[in-house]
Structure 1
Amino acid sequence: MDKRKGDIMGERAILMVPIITIFMFLGITLGGIFSFLFRFILGMKIERIFVFCGGLLLGLILFELLPESFTQNSWMGIVLGVLAGILSMSITENLLHRNLNVANGSLEYMHSFILLLVAIGIHNLPTGLALGTTMKTEAFSLSSLLAALILHHIPEGMALMGSMAFVESSSVLFVISAVFLAIVLGASIFAGFLIGDHSYKLNTLLFGGAIGTLSFVTFHEILWKAKRKMKFHEFGLYVLLGLLFIYMFLLRIH
């Protein structure tokens, strides 16, 4: 009886993967719409949006990723993953510098956008694996998961759209990127479902990698670059606004 019940739950879980993938896409898209509104409706300058989005990502790391990772995973695995994530981003950045003329303004933002896209993609891997391993359990709740997926990916969608403001055909590229990230999440959920509990060590390393990659992009590609173009007090204000926004946002959804 238990085996049959487990098989039924497994079949339902497989059917849920495309639904979850779609809702993740909606979350990123909604974030992109908010970023668009901030820029064109509220008239925020691109540098301010860039710093605000950097504050969002910094808050996501400080208030969400770090506490969650160290309470649920081995600290040694997290540290190794963080170092691997930073190293991988450094290598990726060097490769992009060789192939892009970042002195060009639009290509500089494209450079940051590509690194952010890679970082969010890596961030989706441990999230998907963790979801996949829990989909067979009775504690799994689809309705709460879908709401969480939409809400958690809004800041990432805002940051993505904010980093590509000067890129031609930004709307098309944003949609393609959102589809790509949703597919990465869906594939990692399916992988986690197949691997089961054996994915713990891998998931720990990937959680660390997610923190390392997002931290590198947040500090080096977004905040540091924007700091050179803004006055210190203005820069600090928009970082603080991003931190406050994500803190209140996470407080509301938890």
Structure 2
Amino acid sequence: MGPPRLKAPHEVDAMAASGAILAGVLDALAAAVAVGVTTSDLDALARELIRAAGGTPSFLGYRGFPGAICASPNDLVVHGIPGPRPLADGDLLSMDVGVTYDGWVTDAARTVLVGEGTDDDRRLVAAGEAALVDAVAACRPGNMTGDVGAAVQRRAEAMGVAVFPSLIGHGVGRRLHEEPPVPNVGRPGQGIHLRPGLTIAVEPMLTLGRPAIRMAGDGWSVFTVDGARATHAEVTVAVGEDGPRVLTPWGGDARW
């Protein structure tokens, strides 16, 4: 384990170009989610869009992963393998995407409802996005990774949902996973210093049930232990001299 690799301003700009592709892909995937669409359909769409923009899917083939996206419905928290399962009214779907462009990797995820969903589902998705916004706000010089985790934890608990302490974010840049680990729980003032040029994937993963997980037999899919639904919201963030810069602004710049 070495120190985090800090990026120069021109390198952050290069990552932003990768992130712009990714944000567009995530928004297109969210718009394509509908009853009867399969997660394989969404995977094919992501491959087409990423390659048309001159990028490559970072997840495809990573440690043997067979998809360009992770598609995780309902109680599947993360790392779901795309397949022939058609989406049904009332499903909750998390989509995680990585893009490599000009040698720079970015990583982001969002969760959408298929149809209206329940009040609890809407609260869960809203909690994930609110926790992500709070976590991004904590990504400023002088703070620590513990401040980021504490921000996620505070927002989740205030909205009545639970955080998976074992599922964390990470550094990102030339590789999909770099130092440092970025927790979703923590204490302010603890962990790794956030310095200008640090680029990290911040990704709250929350549930309506118990914050415990089980691994499926495929070696990838991570489920809740109790069948409760989960949400995943993620952006790649650069720590700047004046504060955070979201490099994968899905949902529009105004959100960030």
| TM-score, length-scaled by structure 1 | 0.27
Q: Give the alignment's TM-score, normalised by structure 2.
A: 0.27
Larger RCO: 1 or 2 (CA < 8 Å, sep 6+): 1
Q: More strand per residue: 1 or 2?
A: 2
Considering only CA atoms, is the larger Rg found in Structure 1 or Structure 2? 1
